[in-house]
Amino acid sequence: MTRCIALVVDREGKIIKPRIRLREELKPTYARGKAYRLHIEVPDDAYAVQACFTKNWRGIVKGYIEVYDPAGALLFRAVYRKLKLRYSKGNPEYAWIARLIAEHLKLPIKRVNLSPPAKRAA
């Protein structure tokens, strides 16, 4: 089962509950259940964050945290697997937002690596 959460973070690090502009009902993945697409308002001085997590039958949680600008462009993506929050792609200047969201959601984290891998000399 996948859960996606939409949040808005301002430049000072305050988490704001998003205002929903439009809520579309979609076809769900499985026969039972519901699926929605939400369109939210993001102020010009804030970032939109989408956090999606999946829990399997063994209780293992994995997912990702994506940070977007007000125009909808992806700025940063971090993945969460095996109790580790790791850089995936984007500008590492926005890693503080992913860490803030992980703390807000109370994710158990053993290790954090939110900087991109170093480039090797050929």
Q: pLDDT tens for residues 61-75? A: 999 999 999 999 999
- Helix, strand, coil percentages, rounded to 5, for the chain: 10, 50, 40
The mean predicted confidence, pLDDT, of the chain is 92
Instruction: Judge whether 121 lies within some domain.
Output: no
Instruction: Judge whether 69 lies within some domain.
Output: yes
User: pLDDT, tens digit, for every residue of 30-50?
Assistant: 888 888 888 999 999 999 999
Instruction: Judge whether 53 lies within some domain.
Output: yes
Instruction: Judge whether 118 lies within some domain.
Output: no
Angle ∠(27,33,20) on CA atoms, nearest 5? 70
Instruction: Judge whether 86 lies within some domain.
Output: yes
Instruction: Judge whether 119 lies within some domain.
Output: no
pLDDT score at 32: 86
Instruction: Judge whether 16 lies within some domain.
Output: yes
pLDDT score at 3: 86
Domain that holds residue 23: 2-113
Q: How far is CA 121 from the centre of its chain?
A: 32
Number of structural domains, the chain?
1
The tokens describing 7, both together, are 């949040």
Measure Cα distances from 13 to 9, 10, 82, 111, 112 in Å. Answer: 6, 6, 26, 22, 19
For the residues 77-83, what does the mean pLDDT come to? 96
To which residue do tokens 């999946």 refer? 54
pTM for this predicted structure: 0.88
pLDDT score at 122: 64
Instruction: Judge whether 39 lies within some domain.
Output: yes
pLDDT of 8 above 90: yes
User: pLDDT, tens digit, for every residue of 83-108?
Assistant: 999 999 999 999 999 999 999 999 99
